[in-house]
Amino acid sequence: MSEPQLMRVLGLYKLKQYKLWFDEKCLGFLDQRKQATIGYRIQSNADNLNNVRRDTSRYFRNKKEEYRKAKSDDVRAWAGSIRLRTGGRRL
């Protein structure tokens, strides 16, 4: 068995893209969505699949927004410190 197949079978996922806001809880939501998709294929339970997808998307959207707000606050603080050091002059 090759390594990608083994990782898939064991449920261990390697992140393809590095995202700073993505954490262990996001990985849990992603796994839950995959399990719901598999369950839908077996039992055709569309309501459960839609609810899980909605919750997952909502969590990801909120997590990204938190990250963006924190990042913009950091940039604003940095810009304010630059203005103080330069005496209000623009660079």
pLDDT tens for each residue of 17-54: 678 888 888 888 988 999 898 888 888 878 889 999 99
Residue 3 clears pLDDT 90, i.e. is over it? no
Q: Which pTM does this prediction carry?
A: 0.66
Q: What is the structure's pLDDT at 55?
A: 95
Residue 72 clears pLDDT 70, i.e. is over it? yes
| C-alpha–C-alpha distance, residues 72 and 64, integer Å | 12
Q: What is the structure's pLDDT at 84?
A: 62
Q: What is the structure's pLDDT at 90?
A: 60
